[in-house]
Amino acid sequence: MAVLTIERKVLEKNDAVAQTNRQLLKSLGIFSLNLVSSPGSGKTSLVEKTIEHCREKIQMAVIEGDVQTDLDARRVDALGIPVVQIVTHGACHLEAALVSDSLKQLDLTGVELLIIENVGNLVCPSGYDLGEDLKVVIVSTTEGDDKPLKYPAMFRNASVLLINKIDLLPYLPASIEALEKNALSINPDLKVFRTSCISGEGIAEWCHWLQGNIKKK
């Protein structure tokens, strides 16, 4: 019982900070996404492709989360986008307080889209609200088509699913139809995009959807 009580208090504190983050972003008219996935799904590559496709239409900022190094932030910085790197030193997820600290380091003037790239993990980040508008779960075809069934909480809490690395399908014993069906069996309301950062397939559709949601803010 003591463990459950402590966990509840931690989440309650996190949720309070998340709500403050959400109010700040809303007051500035910023649409925010929390990108979550397993390691190696292609999150950072998708961030890069999103920047490349949308940079002339959307003003963006990025918060990068990782257990070690600032390699991902360097990739974003090379594209000329404001970015803050959070190094968790082993922690398996971002928390709202870390995002709050990062927001203070960013010039949010004119920013329309904030992308938060979470630590690669499909368990811990599912329970932590960062103050984002939507969670976007990314799963690559290389992970197999049963991923949603193994990690249902993440797919249940997400609003969008990006099925990435579809260019590799001819070489894999995975069914994209089964993957999508499994995900929708967990959360029928998921908006699904099929993407490849190599061929560029699906990136335009994903970015068009982003633009539409930003206009609604």
Q: Running DSSP on this structure, what letter comes out for residue 56? A: T
Is the pLDDT at 5 greater than 90, yes or no? Answer: no
Distance CA 136, CA 217 (A): 18
Average the pLDDT over 90-94 and give the result. 85
Task: Determine the pLDDT at residue 128.
Answer: 94
pLDDT at 182 over 50: yes
Mean per-residue pLDDT, 153-172: 97
What is the C-alpha to C-alpha distance for residues 203 and 213, in angstroms, rounded to an integer?
A: 16
Rounded to whole angstroms, how far apart are CA atoms 168 and 129? Answer: 32
Which candidate, 212, 166, 165, 167, places its Cα nearest to that of 191? 212
**The pLDDT value given to residue 64:** 96
Give tens-digit pLDDT for 117-160: 999 999 989 989 999 999 999 999 999 999 999 999 999 999 99
Kind plus residue range of the DSSP H or E element containing 22: helix 2-27
Please give the full DSSP string across 85-153, using - where no structure is assigned: EEE-TT-SS--HHHHHHHHHHS--TT--EEEEE--S-SSGGGG---S-SEEEEEEEGGG-S-HHHHSHH
Closest CA relative to residue 106, chosen from 54, 61, 47, 60: 61
Mean pLDDT, to the nearest integer, of 107-117? 97
Residue 216: is its pLDDT beyond 80?
no
Domains of the chain: 2-216 (3.40.50.300)
3 pLDDT higher than 80: no
Task: Answer whether residue 44 shows pLDDT above 90.
Answer: yes
Angstrom distance (rounded) from CA 84 to CA 43: 16
pTM for this prediction: 0.93
- Rounded mean pLDDT of 33-58? 97
- Is the pLDDT reported for residue 62 higher than 70? yes
Residues 6+ apart with CB under 8 A from 138: 35, 36, 37, 41, 42, 43, 46, 161, 162, 164
Cβ density class 13-36: b for 16+ within 10 Å, e for less: ebeebbeebbeebeeeebbbbbbb
